[in-house]
Amino acid sequence: MFQIDAMSRVPVYEQIVEQTERFLLSGVLAPGTKMPSVRSLSLDLSVNPNTIQKAYSELERRGFVKPVPGKGMFISEQVGECLGEVRKSKLETIRAVLVQGKQAGLTRADVEQCVDQVYRKYEEKRDEV
């Protein structure tokens, strides 16, 4: 389920958080779903249990998952409310990067072309994701 790139500079725990977030946004993980236990995921990914624990703590902090004592971690029922926040922050990131690009001398046309490339027709889009 998760794909860890040990050579990447982004921390392993953050890779797990990001991928979980992506699964939530795309609906692959629905509220109420049980997350794998720390131990099992640790074995699956060949990653230190501490690292998994850290990822789960971060997910809990963001309101994505809720621990059920004695049962495990579950996708929070209120996860939908958080996803709006996530999208808003993504938009903020985009805005920041655009401002940087503009300061670097990128024209509106450059950016529009880039947007075009990303939001192209559905048929071509499907295999990209």
Task: Give me the residues that bind DNA (CB under 7 A), please.
Answer: 11-14, 35-40, 46-51, 53-54, 56-57, 60, 67, 69-73
Q: Which is nearer to DNA, 63 or 98 (CB)?
A: 63
**Helix H or strand E segment including 123:** helix 122-126
Annotate each residue in 11-40 with x if it binds a copy of itself (CB under 8 A) or - if it does not, as one string: xx---------x--xx--------------
Q: Report, in Å, the least distance between residue 57 CB and a copy of itself.
A: 9
Q: Residue 44 or 92: which CB sits closer to a copy of itself? A: 92
**For 1-129, where are the alpha helices, taking DSSP H only?**
12-25, 38-45, 49-61, 79-103, 108-118, 122-126
Residue pair 49/19 in contact by the 8 Å Cβ criterion:
no
Residues 84/23, Cβ–Cβ less than 8 Å: no
Distance of CA 129 to the CA centre of its chain: 14
Q: How far is residue 129's CA from residue 122's CA, in Å, rounded to a whole number?
A: 11
- Residue 22 CB, shortest distance to DNA, in Å, is 17
Is 119 an interacting residue with respect to a copy of itself (CB under 8 A)?
yes
Q: Look up residue 101 and give its DSSP letter.
A: H
The CB-of-123 to a copy of itself minimum distance in angstroms stands at 16
Q: Is 3 a binder of a copy of itself (CB under 8 A)?
A: no
